[in-house]
Structure 1
Amino acid sequence: MTQTDHEKRMACPRMAAGALFFNDQGHVLLVRPSYKPKWEIPGGYIEAGESPLAACRREVREELGITPAIGPLLVVDWAPNEAEGDKVLYVFDGGQLPPDAVRAIKLDTLELLAVEYHPAEAVDQLLIPRLARRVHHAIAARQRSHPQYLEHGAPPRVAGGDLS
């Protein structure tokens, strides 16, 4: 069976999902991957047939060894990459982790070197720029209780304003 012209034009993006967790001071939980130079948020790629929320829960469980409640969607970001093609990235609200959940964290040491809380002001230095923008917008979306659509980590410009 051959693909039709229409099927060839349909997007088949890679998708990933992650969560923002906070402490009582409003600092963001970041993880240090063993395979990248910069910090990340907990999360990873969505598997075939898996929802973004289910992937987020699975990745948090695999990376951190905990199963906290994952709250609402904060941002969805269309962020294609030259090397990987189209990408759609979801960030969910992990809320404030209670101290017992933090103590229960067991890192996947094959994938992660560290987990630490950092103030929101520090993410620009710790994360790649597009992820830093995404995290700032996710924090703002959480404060407003209003999810946000992004492109490359920023609200797109549309006729008559923006989508934020």
Structure 2
Amino acid sequence: MTGSEMPPMATPRVAAGALFFDDEGRVLLVKPDYKNHWDIPGGYVEPGESPRAACIREVREELSLAIEVGPMLVVDWAPALNEGDKILFIFDAGTLSSDDQQRITFPDGELTEWRFVGRDDLSAYGPARLIRRVQAAISGKDLHRPIYAEHGVGQ
């Protein structure tokens, strides 16, 4: 089979984020200055970079925290209008200690705020697709197994 005979293949954008919790089980959300909603720390995977490595790099760049992430909680196939196919990973970043919370700074200037939000209050902070993905990740953590999702809905 030659290159011209190859069937079309997806070339999705890939992103990875970290799910941090506090001692009360609330989720860390951040406010990017370029979005109209809150998000979790993370970003796009660079060429040749694994999703886990991207997650660690993005947390360091966005929050000034050097972390190791735990297991993958969710992988979500979530195409977006005008952006095409996307595959989004969320990794368990564990409980953020009060010492680490005090070390948070925004060196790259992309973020303006951070806060912990309870599971029941998440919908007030972001679009439904993001909230479904975060809820699926929380379920993965609770169930001690990764979740496969499409548009944030666990399968």
State if a TM-score over 0.5 links the two structures: yes
Written as runs of structure 1 = structure 2, the 5 A alignment for 1:1-164 is 3-6=3-6, 9-108=8-107, 110-155=109-154, 163=155
Alpha-carbon offset, residue 16 of structure 1: 0.2
Following the alignment from structure 2 to structure 1, what is the Cα–Cα distance between the partners of residues 6 and 23?
Answer: 50
Following the alignment from structure 1 to structure 2, what is the Cα–Cα distance between the partners of residues 26 and 50?
Answer: 30
**Bigger Cα displacement from structure 2, 50-59 vs 64-73:** 64-73
TM-score w.r.t. structure 1 length? Answer: 0.90
Task: Read off the aligned partner of 1:98 and give its amino acid letter.
Answer: S
Alpha-carbon offset, residue 115 of structure 1: 0.8
Q: Secondary structure at the match of 1:4?
A: helix
TM-score w.r.t. structure 2 length? Answer: 0.95
Give yes or no for contact 2:61–2:108 (8 Å, CA) kept in 1: no
Q: Count matched residues.
A: 154
Provide the alpha-carbon RMSD of the alignment. 1.3
Q: Secondary structure at the match of 2:6?
A: helix
Q: Secondary structure at the match of 1:75?
A: strand
Following the alignment from structure 2 to structure 1, what is the Cα–Cα distance between the partners of residues 114 and 13?
Answer: 25
Give yes or no for contact 1:68–1:101 (8 Å, CA) kept in 2: no
Which 4+ residue blocks in structure 1 deviate beyond 3 angstroms?
none
Give yes or no for contact 1:22–1:97 (8 Å, CA) kept in 2: yes
Q: Which runs of 5+ in 1 are unaligned?
A: 156-162
Task: Read off the aligned partner of 2:57 and give its amino acid letter.
Answer: R
